[in-house]
């Protein structure tokens, strides 16, 4: 190889290295640029994901606290309802004891626990029975007036025949005149006071009370002079011997709350 050829080879090799350096350096810079860019993007993405996780976690914590507060609120409302119910019940019982203490006749206080839809104006079931001293045939009344009579006695409850039943009968007296008769129940029409003489002085708004006529204390359903109702109509009927007398009971069928059984 001549010196001239050697120089040409050397220059060619140098030229190749120069070209390689010239072209690969920008590529290196470009790759470095994209590398840095992707690093920044990944960092930014990671930061946003981290912040998103924190926001989601905070949101879930808030939801959990809201649920806890709602649960606490419901529990407070429930406790409030229970407390009001207790106070109302306590006042009811307290007032019942006061009312019972004021009654002339010894009695057993009871509550209505059932009512049949087929005979709701005829019968009720009360919360006291034989174990509480309730006896068959005893009268049942409220602070306003009588409402019926014990028809059947069980150990812990009793069935009451109501005065609104058409088959209900009870001796009664006209408070103003002292005349006696028999009340026959009715619903929804007014009840009747029967066996009142044609020349009776009875008139509208006369007070009707229990007669108190009994063979003995055991057979007497009510004490005497306990309110029953008020006369609303008096008229003559040619088909009967006496007067036709209509009365309204003092105690209304749908308003019965606390009641008592004659003891």
Q: What is the DSSP string of 215-254?
A: SSGGG--S-TT-EEEEEEEEEE-TTSSSEEEEEEESS-GG
| 98 pLDDT more than 50 | no
pLDDT band (50, 70, 90) for residue 186: confident
Q: What is the pLDDT of residues 122-141, one digit of tens each?
A: 999 999 999 999 999 999 99
Average pLDDT over residues 187-208: 91
End-to-end CA distance of the chain: 147
In the prediction, which pLDDT does 64 show? 75
How many structural domains does the chain have?
A: 1
| 244 pLDDT more than 60 | yes
- Mean pLDDT over all residues of the chain? 77
Backbone angles phi, psi at 164, to 5 degrees: -80, -10
| 35 pLDDT more than 50 | no
204 located within any domain:
yes
Q: Could you tell me the CATH number of the domain that includes residue 168?
A: 2.40.10.340
Asked if 183 and 247 count as a contact pair (C-beta separation under 8 A), the reply is: yes
98 located within any domain:
no
Tokens 């609104």, located at residue: 164
| 206 pLDDT more than 80 | yes
In the prediction, which pLDDT does 194 show? 92
Q: Is the alpha carbon torsion for 151, 152, 153, 159 positive or negative?
A: negative
| 27 pLDDT more than 50 | no
13 located within any domain:
no
pLDDT band (50, 70, 90) for residue 37: very low
24 located within any domain:
no
Name residues whose C-beta falls within 8 Å of residue 235's C-beta, 6 or more positions apart in sequence. Answer: 243, 244
CA angle 21, 23, 28 (to 5 degrees): 85
pTM for this model (two decimals):
0.59
Q: Distance between CA atoms of 160 and 187, rounded to whole angstroms?
A: 16
Q: Domain span at residue 135? A: 107-262
Two tokens, residue 43: 């960092």
In the prediction, which pLDDT does 84 show? 62
**Closest alpha carbon to 231 in 207, 197, 201:** 207
Backbone angles phi, psi at 142, to 5 degrees: -120, -175
84 located within any domain:
no
């Amino acid at each position: 190889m001549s010196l001239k050829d050697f120089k040409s080879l050397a220059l060619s090799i140098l030229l190749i290295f120069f070209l390689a350096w010239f072209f690969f350096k920008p590529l290196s810079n470009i790759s470095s640029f994209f590398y840095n860019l992707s690093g920044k993007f990944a960092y930014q993405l990671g930061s946003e994901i981290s912040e998103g996780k924190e926001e989601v976690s905070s949101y879930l914590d808030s939801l959990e606290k809201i649920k806890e507060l709602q649960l606490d609120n419901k529990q407070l409302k429930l406790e409030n309802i229970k407390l009001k119910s207790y106070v109302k019940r306590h006042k009811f019982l307290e007032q019942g004891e006061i009312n019972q203490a004021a009654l002339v006749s010894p009695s057993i206080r009871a509550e209505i626990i059932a009512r049949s839809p087929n005979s709701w104006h005829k019968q009720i079931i009360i919360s006291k029975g034989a174990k509480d001293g309730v006896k068959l045939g005893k009268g049942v009344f409220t602070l306003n007036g009588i409402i019926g009579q014990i028809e059947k006695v069980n150990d812990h409850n009793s069935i009451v025949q109501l005065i609104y039943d058409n088959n209900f009968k009870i001796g009664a007296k006209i408070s103003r005149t002292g005349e006696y008769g028999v009340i026959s129940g009715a619903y929804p029409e007014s009840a009747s006071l029967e066996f009142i003489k044609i020349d009776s002085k009875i008139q509208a708004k006369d007070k009707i009370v229990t007669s108190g006529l009994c063979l003995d204390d055991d057979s007497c359903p009510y004490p005497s002079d306990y309110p029953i109702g008020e006369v609303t109509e008096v008229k003559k009927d040619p088909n009967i011997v006496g007067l036709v007398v209509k009365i309204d009971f003092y105690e209304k069928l749908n308003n019965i709350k606390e009641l008592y059984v004659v003891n």
